[in-house]
Structure 1
Amino acid sequence: MDLRGLIGRWPVIRQLRGEDGRGSAARSARTDALRPRTAEADTVARSVCPYCAVGCGQLVYAKDGRVTQIEGDPDSPISRGRLCPKGAASKQLVTHPGRQTTVLYRRPYGTEWESLDLATAMDMIADRVMATRRETWQETVDGKVVRRTLGLASLGGATLDNEENYLMKKLYTALGAIQVENQARI
């Protein structure tokens, strides 16, 4: 290509010729090749940001079962498509290479962590809940029927919605716990 043709392709020269900067003068082959990060997704799921009690709506884009992008949901009446910096970076919760993907357990008085499969960990939790309930159950107190345990309590997180808090309350009430609270702010 000759020097005159090369100079004529510069955006400043094209702008000086009368082409405005919003059109072809501001475009390049690389710009034309760019595609949205969401274009390749084969599924989109609606979700809620896990960080605080606001409950901003999110759209989770995935391809081949792997999360590729998380963006604000414009249909959310709470956030109307906006996310704070933490919410905008929430993709890292599931894709960061340092994410813990196994259950770690440190035995009482132990100094090292060991990996457990999820089924074993869930069985251990269930066994401990039932043992605590059995050991701390009170049928009566001062002759009054109470049918409770003071050995179990629940504090729900601020990101739980009303439905999740309702289910937790039902579970812990069924177990006999009376100390059930949540941090719901919405």
Structure 2
Amino acid sequence: MGVRQWFLGWPVIRQITGDDPLGRGSAVRSARTERTVPRTAQADSVTRSICPYCAVGCGQQVFVKDGAVTQIEGDPDSPISRGRLCPKGSASKQLVTSPSRVTKVLYRRPHGTDWDELPLDQAMEMIADRVLATREQTWQQRDDEGRTLRRTMGIASLGGATLDNEENYLMKKLYTAMGAVQIENQARI
């Protein structure tokens, strides 16, 4: 390709000399542009979901190829967000695809300096045992004046911004049933 041919291939020159003076069509298209396809075009499936970050409940479309999430975008059919996502929602793909995401149960023993991998069943049993022991040790049936309390001050819950309304509802029910009174949530962006 000569210099003249290369120069005439510039989009601005094609725009000025061609039939697309506003630069909205063929003047701005190139061979590379023609080969470009959206990241979502090759997805095997698209699943509708809800953004996990706050209680707003923005709709998301999750694009999957070969069993892996390839893209997450706002769902234009969502009556709540109408296809829009905040910066956190737009970056939510990182929740499932980040190489630094922990996917195994890690446990650091008391006074330990290293993390050990545990089977999920063992970790769940350890948590249940500790919750029951703490509740038993800190249970207050009555106060000093004989008034019924039925509570524990040894267990508390602090929810975060990645919990949705349903999860918060279930956590409130669970902790209340266990007798906890300190149940809080930070659900702001």
TM-score class, shorter: 0.7 to 0.9
Asked if 1:50 is matched to 2:52, the reply is yes
Q: 2:112 aligns with which of 110, 124, 134?
A: 110
**Could you tell me how far apart the structure 1 residues matched to 2:4 and 2:186 are?**
69
Give the conservation status (yes or no) of the 8 Å contact 2:53–2:163: no
Give the conservation status (yes or no) of the 8 Å contact 2:104–2:117: yes
**Could you tell me how far apart the structure 2 residues matched to 1:180 and 1:57 are?**
28
Aligned length: 186
Aligned to 2:31: 29
Q: 1:51: Cα distance to partner?
A: 3.5
Aligned to 2:151: 148
Aligned to 2:14: 14
Paired AA for residue 134 in structure 1 = E
Q: 1:12: Cα distance to partner?
A: 4.4
Aligned to 1:130: 132
Alignment of 1:45-124 (within 5 A): 45-124=47-126
**Could you tell me how far apart the structure 1 residues matched to 2:133 and 2:121 are?**
18
Q: Which runs of 5+ in 2 are unaligned?
A: none
TM-score normalised by length of structure 2: 0.82
**Could you tell me how far apart the structure 1 residues matched to 2:128 and 2:10 are?**
69
Q: Which runs of 5+ in 1 are unaligned?
A: none
Instruction: Give the direction of change, closer, same or farther, for the CA distance of 1:23–1:177 in structure 2 (3 Å limit).
Output: same
Structure 1, residues 106-129: CA drift from partner, whole Å, max 9, x if none? 111111221222222222111111
Instruction: Give the direction of change, closer, same or farther, for the CA distance of 1:109–1:33 in structure 2 (3 Å limit).
Output: same
Give the conservation status (yes or no) of the 8 Å contact 2:72–2:90: yes
Paired AA for residue 174 in structure 1 = A
Q: SS of the counterpart of 1:173?
A: helix
**Could you tell me how far apart the structure 2 residues matched to 1:53 and 1:88 are?**
16
Q: 1:53: Cα distance to partner?
A: 4.7
Instruction: Give the direction of change, closer, same or farther, for the CA distance of 1:146–1:33 in structure 2 (3 Å limit).
Output: same
Instruction: Give the direction of change, closer, same or farther, for the CA distance of 1:185–1:22 in structure 2 (3 Å limit).
Output: closer
Instruction: Give the direction of change, closer, same or farther, for the CA distance of 1:158–1:23 in structure 2 (3 Å limit).
Output: closer
**Could you tell me how far apart the structure 2 residues matched to 1:95 and 1:23 are?**
36
**Could you tell me how far apart the structure 2 residues matched to 1:180 and 1:66 are?**
36
Structure 1, residues 27-86: CA drift from partner, whole Å, max 9, x if none? 122211211111122222233333445443322111222110011122333332222333
Instruction: Give the direction of change, closer, same or farther, for the CA distance of 1:132–1:25 in structure 2 (3 Å limit).
Output: same
TM-score normalised by length of structure 1: 0.83
Asked if 1:161 is matched to 2:181, the reply is no
Identity %: 73
